[in-house]
Amino acid sequence: MRTLSVPGAAVADLLCLLAFVTIGRASHDEGNALAGIATTVWPFAAALAVSWLATLAWRAPARLVPSGLGIWAGTTVGGLVLRVATGAGAEPSFAVVTALFLAATLLGWRAVTRLARVRASRSTG
């Protein structure tokens, strides 16, 4: 089984952020206009980019540790810090939901790909 490419992993991470923002905005009746989504997602997207660099994620982008864990922690903390620094705020409940959703998605897709690779190697090996 082929591993996910670096661009594929980066797109998967961005899709996790877009899902988080889109679902969150819809649950608060904020609408999903492109400008609103961009305004909400940018702190997390910036933190995601820094996290990819800090963890050297391009070396093994689908690995849970260190890539996934570092990307999740950096994106969560960095995104929340940027929100607060720019006046968007981050209530404690928002921080908890952010951490849980991003853990489920940013770590989740990596866990699923890992399980798929293990299963594939067992069936061929």
Any idea where the domains of the chain sit in the sequence?
6-124
Mean pLDDT of 63-87: 98
Share of the chain above pLDDT 90, in %: 84
pLDDT class of 61 with cuts at 50, 70, 90: very high
By C-alpha distance, which of 104, 51, 110 is closest to 81? 51
By C-alpha distance, which of 1, 8, 28 is closest to 115? 1
Q: pTM to 2 decimals?
A: 0.92
Predicted confidence (pLDDT) at residue 29 exceeds the cutoff of 60: yes
Predicted confidence (pLDDT) at residue 123 exceeds the cutoff of 80: yes
- Phi (first) and psi of residue 110, to 5 degrees: -70, -40
